[in-house]
Amino acid sequence: MTHRIQSIETGYGYSATTQERNKVLRNTYWLLALSLVPTVLGAWLGVATGITQSLGGGLGMIVFLAGAFGFMYAIEKTKNSAAGVPVLLGFTFFMGLMLSRMIAMVLGFKNGPDLIMTAFGGTAGVFFVMASLSSVIKRDLTGMGKWLFVGALAIMVGGIINVFVGSTAGMMVISVMAIGVFSAYMLYDLKQIVDGGETNYISATLALYLDIINVFQSLLALLGIMGGERD
């Protein structure tokens, strides 16, 4: 399971002008849309070649955590340089590759393609709602960050434990929690951009991408468990 762990800001920076905030938001949306292309390519490559099928259990967790945190460290170091965007796109390709194992499992169901499209549509719907809310809510949501971070940590620990336990009920509980926490994180991260608390569009894109991929993966896991039809 993909997990989003990042530092929590202690307050918004309100120095950015409205024009600058709109520019960051616009660039973030463009880069976020672009980042989905390597994700799809990575997922397709993983499904087509079966390269990630052997990455189960503890081995898969180690490869994922090493790759994900390595990429996120590199993104943080290059976010103010010309290398920032290519490194971010490399990360989204890696995430697509890691996601391919679950996608291949869901495609094993008779209604697999329908489940994937439903998860995609549900994720897009959540993002649309949170983007709309971020533009109309006037309240400062800074305080949400610490609680969401605790929630993300709990999901990560629960996910690691469940890799070894292999509980279907546990997977369902973790997936429901992840949908709630990362949907709220979308609102939090979008509000940071709108309020001028995040002025780097690469960092903003990374945060939103992680929110989206977590919601999508969790929805897909739930749909596969509850609605998967065997031949």
| Region at 57 (left for phi over 0; alpha for psi -120 to 50; beta for the rest) | left
C-alpha distances out from residue 213 to 52, 79, 143, 156, 197, Å: 18, 20, 24, 14, 23
The proportion of the chain whose per-residue pLDDT surpasses 90, expressed as a percent, equals: 57
* The 3-state secondary structure of 91-110, one letter per residue: HHHHHHHHHHHHHHHHHCCC
pLDDT at 79: 93
Count of the separate structural domains present in the chain: 1
**Residue 43 domain boundaries:** 18-227
Per-residue pLDDT at 5 exceeds 70: no
The answer to whether position 175 is within a domain reads yes
pLDDT at 153: 92
Rg (CA), the chain: 17
The answer to whether position 197 is within a domain reads yes
The answer to whether position 9 is within a domain reads no
Mean pLDDT of 3-12: 41
* The 3-state secondary structure of 47-75, one letter per residue: HHHCCCCCCCHHHHHHHHHHHHHHHHHHH
pLDDT at 231: 64
Higher pLDDT: 21 or 117? It is 117
Mean pLDDT of 141-152: 88
**Non-local CB neighbours of 64 within 8 Å, separated by 6+ positions:** 2, 55, 98
pLDDT tens track for 185-194: 999 999 999 8
The answer to whether position 41 is within a domain reads yes
Using alpha carbons, select from 66, 53, 59, 65 the residue that is nearest to residue 1: 65
The answer to whether position 177 is within a domain reads yes
What is residue 158's DSSP assignment? H
pLDDT tens track for 116-127: 999 999 999 999
pLDDT at 103: 93
pLDDT at 3: 41
Higher pLDDT: 139 or 115? It is 115
pLDDT at 34: 96
The answer to whether position 54 is within a domain reads yes
Question: Residue 167 — pLDDT band, cuts 50, 70, 90?
Answer: confident
pLDDT at 84: 92
The answer to whether position 4 is within a domain reads no
pLDDT at 6: 42
The answer to whether position 1 is within a domain reads no
